[in-house]
Amino acid sequence: MATLHPLPQTIPHAAQAAAAQWGDAPAVIDRGEVWSFAQLWQHSRAVASALLAHGIGAGDRVAVWAPNSREWIVAAIAAMTCGASVVTLNTRLKGREAGDILRRTRARVLFTVDSFLGIDYRALIAGEALPALEQIVLIGDGFGAFAALGKGADDPAVDAALATIDGDTVSDILFTSGTTGSPKGVLMTYGQVLPQAAVWIANTRLVTGDRYLIVNPFFHSFGMKVGWVACILAGAVAVPMPQFDVAQAIDLIERERITFMPGPPTIFQMLLAELDKRPWDCSSLRGGTTGAATVPPSLVERIRRDLGMTDLITAYGMTECVNITTCVPGDDAETIARTCGAAFPGNEVRVADDDGNEVPRGQTGEVLVRGQGVMLGYLDDPEATAEAIDAQGWLHTGDIGTMDERGYLRITDRKKDLYISGGFNVYPAEVEKLLAEHPAIGMVAVVGVPDERLGEVGRAFVVLRSGASVAEADLLAWSRENMANYKVPRQFVFVDDLPRNAAGKVLKTELRVA
């Protein structure tokens, strides 16, 4: 059986059902230790009992600020079991940014780590005024001691709390990246999250027993909702990575016989680059998803052929609606590279003009989505909610795209990433896709930079493929042959790597000031 049926009301109910159905089967493999579904639920209940003893209940917020781990999952399930909403914090946040989120959510408990990548998170927020925050629990050494403050996994109060939550309960508050201003807290209910996870499982063919290498951070909607939550629903094994490291990823793929691995294109490019240098065993790999950036057809073909990921697809989503569109296994490489698929079951997707009217197929407009997965709204921000979700229930994504006759969507760019060169609109994603076809280019990111004559021109940051070399003049000449002149970057900068956030996306903001 591929998924729990019927669909549980909440994530804790899903963890309970998974323990009943799959019991001793492995649920999480982390740092060489295996936890079964039964153990995962028992640990979650024990921590929930401790939270209940602390007075955590319906309507409270519990924050998690930590890298991917088995304890992260337990902390989240435990908080949810009590009726609290989970607030996730990006591991790259500075103290002021984290303090802002903790204050705005009035989080009462924070689960964090004593150190990650040399960062002491407690020290970062030591100077922040956090009147609502009552306790900081360290994931790791302090986790068992905190659980011991409760009455254990058999505490009847846990069952009583579990009985009070349902599909309408707010499950989580995830914050947008803040690329267009202050980060906004996205409110989601279980009734929005779980159906989205279920259709994603069906579409990607994730099945019971699959070994899922979760590179996407748990603080991100992908790493959480179609990451470890999807594993619990499908009976798959979650194998979390605290951060992506190509050598560690290869070791886990080989040792744990990983079958499924989503990630941004850069991750697959790094795995392929290693394969170019030395053979490693990728024979267990079968499927995964990519997206969030340029995906040239040649990369899709190499992932399928050289990594063996025959079920690879691209998909598109955002914090405000986890799943929007998706390709399906079996779509050709061109479709997977050039589009992000058609609407997920349960969604309506349209490309619209500035007045919200659908434009003819093939024309460019803003991507709108309506359906079961659209957020409740933004935390304490009715104005921003009304701006994002119109009176007809359409979420305005801020993404620019076109739709073909099949209903397959192609994202051209973010509205904000558009730059105007000599009066022409230039969409960096389109230029990147064209440049990615050059045989010497491994990765590329394009940004608009000021120009006295044209307003803005393109600057391309290029990472060459292993062993490749090319002159800037040659790239310029190739570009002039392969794209309209106004799209041609006026400058090519060769770099060893591109700056990325914890989710693997390229940080254009850093490149613009480079």
Residue with tokens 């640990």: 43
Contacts of 199 (CB under 8 A, 6+ apart): 323, 344, 345, 346
Under-50 pLDDT residues of the chain: 1, 178-181
Give the Å distances, CA to CA, from 144 to 81, 141, 147, 148, 187.
Answer: 18, 7, 5, 6, 30
pLDDT at 423: 65
Cα separation, 420 vs 283, in Å, equals: 46
Residue with tokens 């280019």: 441
pLDDT at 180: 45
Q: List the beta strands (DSSP E) in 258-310.
A: 287-290
Q: Which helix (H) or strand (E) holds 501?
A: none
Give the Å distances, CA to CA, from 488 to 80, 296, 412, 437, 456.
Answer: 50, 18, 16, 14, 12
Omega cis (within 30) before 6: yes
pLDDT at 109: 98
Edge-to-edge strand ranges of the sheet holding 347-352 = 347-352, 365-371, 395-403, 409-414
- Region at 400 (left for phi over 0; alpha for psi -120 to 50; beta for the rest): beta
Cα separation, 285 vs 417, in Å, equals: 34
Cα separation, 263 vs 504, in Å, equals: 8
Cα separation, 16 vs 38, in Å, equals: 8
pLDDT at 413: 67
285 and 274 Cβ atoms separated by less than 8 Å:
no
pTM score, two decimals?
Answer: 0.85
What are the structural domains of the chain?
Answer: 11-198 (3.40.50.980), 259-414 (3.40.50.12780), 418-512 (3.30.300.30)
pLDDT at 179: 39
Cα separation, 3 vs 110, in Å, equals: 32
Cα separation, 493 vs 472, in Å, equals: 8
Virtual torsion, Cα 481, 482, 483, 487, nearest 10 deg: -80
Cα separation, 70 vs 27, in Å, equals: 10
